[in-house]
Structure 1
Amino acid sequence: MAAPEAVTADDRARVVTAAALKAAEALQISKTTLGRILGLSPASVTRLASGTELRPDTKPYELALLLLRLYRSLDSIMGGDRSLAREWLASDNRALGGRPLDRITTIIGLTEVTAHVDAFRARV
């Protein structure tokens, strides 16, 4: 039996970049908003969609991982219903002090929204 190949940093970069773009698409997060979430310019987000990858040693990569965690938790709570997840993101939330979609454009907001959703996911 052949030994499995080691996962490289390039492999991780490719997977995380593609997954972040797909999560943003599923949640109908615009490229401008995705750029604000990841701390990138809209042009950089466009380059990501064209094949450029996030580097694992960067803040945007770490923020993409956090966005993916949020997406997975929302997907779990909403039973895979993306329209419900989009509606939740766009609705005012008193517990979070605003619309989650607005809150996740800052690092603190992304962290707090993800923690909030994770807390509900733990109950499911």
Structure 2
Amino acid sequence: PTTYHDLPPELIERIGDYVPVQDVKNFSVVNRRTYHAMQTRQLVYRYWQRANQAVSLASINQLLNEMDGTLADPAQHVEPIDALRQRLQALPEAEQGEAFKRLFAAAQRIPKHGLPIQKALM
């Protein structure tokens, strides 16, 4: 029978896509093969952590620009953008409108998951 250790890295990476973002770090340390297979998902995790700490429009813009430059698959943007959505009210009131526009536009580029984020923004 096939065991976890027999799985190819591509399949481990696909499994990792179903791991909740807050658990990615723990899943990545299962073994060396998992750690290497989870490199992109770990990057998403780091963006998600930064999104949960965003305190200004500048930090949101910087994060979104970095994600656009490093994450090829728009679906990888879901967790960080949703975390930014939840931080929107913590921003200074004068920056909230522009941040809303930027998040709304970023969510629009995400197939399937973008619409629920946009609805939650409303």
TM-score, reference length from structure 2: 0.27
Larger Rg: 2
**Structure with bigger RCO (C-alpha 8 Å, 6+ apart):** 1
More helix by share: 2
Under a length normalisation based on structure 1, what TM-score does the superposition of the two structures give?
0.27
